[in-house]
Amino acid sequence: MNGALKAAWALTVFVIVVGIVGWATSGRAVFAVFIVLGVLTGVAALFAFRTTPPVGRPTPEDRT
């Protein structure tokens, strides 16, 4: 896992926790937006930081 992916997951967890704590302590449903944004950040991290081998270059498995 590279540094950018770790940072994305840390941001995801932070935003979701802030949303849950904010909603629980204040009782305002506006903090549900934080939870939704955290989930969207996690989904975006999954798609943005997927690693695939470059086209036309052999993978380590192909070299053996």
Number of folded domains in the chain? 1
What pLDDT shows up at residue 6?
A: 84
Asked if residue 2 belongs to a domain, the reply is no
Asked if residue 26 belongs to a domain, the reply is yes
Q: Are 32 and 18 in contact (CB under 8 A)?
A: no
Each of the 64 residues of the chain gets a pLDDT tens digit; together they read 678 778 888 888 999 999 999 999 998 889 999 999 999 988 887 887 766 656 666 666 665 5
Asked if residue 3 belongs to a domain, the reply is no
CA 63 – CA 34 distance, rounded (Å): 46
Asked if residue 54 belongs to a domain, the reply is no
Q: Where in the sequence is the domain holding 44, given as residue range(s)?
A: 8-49
Asked if residue 15 belongs to a domain, the reply is yes
Q: Are 34 and 15 in contact (CB under 8 A)?
A: yes
